[in-house]
Amino acid sequence: MRSVGHFIGGRTVAGTSGREADVFRPATGEVQARVALASADEVRAAIANAAEAQPAWGATNPQRRARVMMRFVDLLNDHMDELAAMLSSEHGKTVPDAKGDVQRGLEVAEFAIGIPHLLKGEYTEGAGPGIDVYSMRQPLGVVAGITPFNFPAMIPMWKFCPAIACGNAYVLKPSERDPSVPVRLAELMLEAGAPPGILNVVQGDKEAVDVLLTDPRVAAVGFVGSSDIASYVYSTAAAHGKRAQCFGGAKNHMIVMPDADMEMAANALVGAGYGSAGERCMAISVAVPVGETAADALMERLVPKVEALRIGPSDDPDADFGPLVTRAAVDKVRRYVDVGVEEGAELVVDGRDFRLQGYEDGFYLGACLFDRVRPDMTIYKEEIFGPVLSVVRAADYDEAVRLPSTHEYGNGVAIFTRDGDTARDFTARVDTGMVGVNVPIPVPIAYHTFGGWKRSGFGDLNQHGPDSVRFFTKTKTVTSRWPGGVKEGADFAMPVMR
């Protein structure tokens, strides 16, 4: 049985805690590896290693750090097939989807190459008599990330690439469900020229997380996962004097106006709702057609597309989506579908009994489509995180704006329309952090910033883009004057610039 350990101080190390967890192959249901779960002492050893390595790395000029990122990008491209195969094997998403996972992380590494430009401070010459004022951005020191199973390449790179480019050392605690890709990324970062200890990976569970949240040597923590845990991570980190950047759940709506291209909208819903088996924080899980005529037209196109979806193992080139990550995830999603039926929603496509011949023990669930879902229903209020799409029929445009705006989650939303005035009004009024106009999954490109509102995001700075530089650095402001021309004697008045 293959073992997955930690990556500390530039080398792979076996776990010593005596605790392990199963790593499944979702396509077949078999256990393919065992992953070590770190003890508190093992996490502290990784933090100590990072703390020892960071000062020299922080003192390395930004351009040299950027060159490491350049080489890292080249290595990611060279190892794309390897990383995607490893990722899909442990997660279950299709290989093309896995390549997209790696690619979106790679794009943040490309952004990090240009971080020296964003590390420049400000300068004011002659702010007062012989006085100059300038600022510097300096690394925080040791920072940490706790990342989820659904994007085991992308989200770690969203976090550690800007952090390392800014001069920090990073301790990553990835999901124990698909732990191999993060270790491989750390190996590639070392090969790219990052010194040992600058990127450490510790596998683990809550025991490891709590050390990262409380150890005084860790200056900042990033998290992506459920909202309840995001709230816990944020509050615990803040209570221990750390910066925190935490992202939680989502219930992303897609508004379909009567003037929308219904074929385009239906295709967008199928891809955004069922891609990666719905295990995306940016998945569209609620479709909101405006008016009964638009709703009927949308459903007429949507139902046959959902019924025709192809489900298969992650290495099947013809599969639209693969299995869920664990059997527990399948059971949880199936229970949500049961509740939706019990509460009166119309289950138009029922995938609960899907079985894949030859893969009966795999973690598969067929696509499910609900119509006439009400906002008071559980399947509307809670994040399902599976291949389930709910259609909520809005009577008018104002109701369509109100639905995502009043939901407790505020991650992403999309509107499909041909009318520019409607789109402009919607983007201004809707109360969510990311908006797509005829774009179903509005994930910003790497040099903009990613983050949701309300219970989808905790903290005031988002992931990647300029916000990442602000999060991973601290600003030092210097007021400077040289002795020439300074009057003699003490001055007891508050200093002012005249």
**pLDDT for the residue numbered 181:** 98
pLDDT at 323: 98
Looking at the fold, whether 166 and 207 belong to one and the same domain comes out as yes
Q: How confident is the model at residue 1 (pLDDT cuts 50, 70, 90)?
A: confident
Q: Is there a domain that residue 487 lies in?
A: no
Tell me the residue type at 69.
Answer: M
Q: Are residues 211 and 353 in the same domain?
A: no
Tokens found for residue 446? 């790497």
pLDDT at 497: 66
Neighbour count for residue 20 (Cβ, 10 Å):
17
Confirm whether 450 is domain-assigned.
Answer: no
> Tokens at residue 127, please?
């702010």
Q: Is residue 329, in this structure, part of any structural domain at all?
A: yes
DSSP string spanning 60-107? S-HHHHHHHHHHHHHHHHHTHHHHHHHHHHHH---HHHHHHHHHHHHH
**Same domain membership, residue 335 and residue 198:** no
The DSSP output letter for 443 is P
Q: What is the pLDDT of residue 108?
A: 98
Both tokens of residue 480? Answer: 């400077």
Does any domain span residue 496? Answer: no
Q: Is the pLDDT of residue 488 over 80?
A: no
In the structure, how many helices (H) and strands (E) does the chain have? 16, 23
Place of tokens 């004057």: 481
> Do the domain assignments include residue 318?
yes
Mean pLDDT over 207-233 rounds to 97
pLDDT bucket at 492, cuts 50 / 70 / 90 = confident
Q: Is residue 493 part of a domain?
A: no
Same domain, 63 and 155: yes
Helix H segments across 145-291?
Answer: 154-165, 180-192, 206-214, 227-239, 262-274
DSSP string across 325-381: S-HHHHHHHHHHHHHHHHTT-EEEE--TT---TT-TTS-----EEEES--TTSHHHH
Q: Quick one: the chain helix, strand, coil %, rounded to 5? A: 40, 25, 35
Query: Is the separation of the CB atoms in 89 and 98 below 8 Å?
Result: no
CB of 332 within 8 A of CB of 353?
A: no
Instruction: Pick the closest to residue 164 from 68, 75, 247, 51 (CA basis).
Output: 68
- 494 pLDDT higher than 90: no
pLDDT at residue 415, rounded to an integer: 98
Looking at residue 311, its pLDDT comes to: 97
Verify that 341 and 358 share a domain, yes or no: yes
Residues 161 and 224 reside in one and the same domain: yes
Find out whether 248 and 231 touch, Cβ atoms under 8 Å: yes
Q: Which two tokens stand for residue 410?
A: 């505020």
Q: Which domain holds residue 371?
A: 252-437
Mean pLDDT of 452-477: 95
Q: Does 130 lie in the same domain as 23?
A: yes
Catalytic residues: 281
Q: How many domains does the chain have?
A: 2
pLDDT tens digits, 51-67 = 999 999 999 999 999 99
Rg (C-alpha) for the chain, rounded Å, is 25
Whether 130 shows a pLDDT value over 90: the answer reads no
Please report whether residue 339 resides in a domain. Answer: yes
pLDDT tier for residue 262 given thresholds of 50, 70 and 90: very high
Q: Is the pLDDT of residue 214 over 70?
A: yes
Q: Which of 382, 407, 437 is the last residue of a domain?
A: 437
Asked whether residue 217 falls in the same domain as residue 320, the answer is no
**Across the beta sheet with 123-128, what order do the strands follow?**
123-128, 131-139, 473-481
CB 136 within 8 A of CB 476: yes
Judged against a pLDDT cut of 80, whether residue 496 lies above it is answered with no
What pLDDT shows up at residue 493? 76
319 and 241 in a common domain: no
> Do residue 139 and residue 199 come from a single domain?
yes
The three-class DSSP label of residue 252 is: strand
| For residues 386-408, average pLDDT | 98
Report if residue 376 sits inside a domain: yes
Query: Taking 70 as the threshold, does the pLDDT of residue 190 lie above it?
Result: yes
CA angle, corner 308, sides to 307 and 312, nearest 5? 110
Around Cβ 141, how many Cβ atoms within 10 Å?
A: 18
User: Poorest-confidence range of 39-43, 316-320, 364-368, 493-497?
Assistant: 493-497
Average pLDDT, the chain: 96
pLDDT of 344 strictly over 90: yes
* 392 in the same domain as 461: no
Residue 333 to residue 260: CA distance in whole angstroms:
31
Quickly state the pLDDT bin for 485 (edges 50, 70, 90). Answer: low
Sign of CA dihedral 415, 421, 427, 431: negative
* CATH code, 292: 3.40.309.10
Residue 364 has pLDDT above 70, yes or no: yes
CATH of the domain at 202: 3.40.605.10
Question: In this structure, are residues 23 and 90 in contact, taking their beta carbons and an 8 Å threshold?
Answer: yes
How does residue 293 score in pLDDT terms, banded at 50, 70 and 90? very high
Q: Sorting pLDDT into bands at 50, 70 and 90, what band is 46? A: very high
Q: Which of 437, 466, 489 is the last residue of a domain?
A: 437
Q: Return the structure tokens found at 144.
A: 């940490």
Could you give phi then psi for residue 76, rounded to 5 degrees? -60, -45
Question: In terms of DSSP bridges, do strands 169-173 and 142-146 run parallel, antiparallel, or are they unpaired?
Answer: parallel
Q: Which amino acid is at 163?
A: A
The verdict on 291 and 244 lying in the same domain is: no
The answer on pLDDT for 21 being more than 70 is yes
The amino acid that residue 148 corresponds to is: P
Q: What is the DSSP letter of 463?
A: B
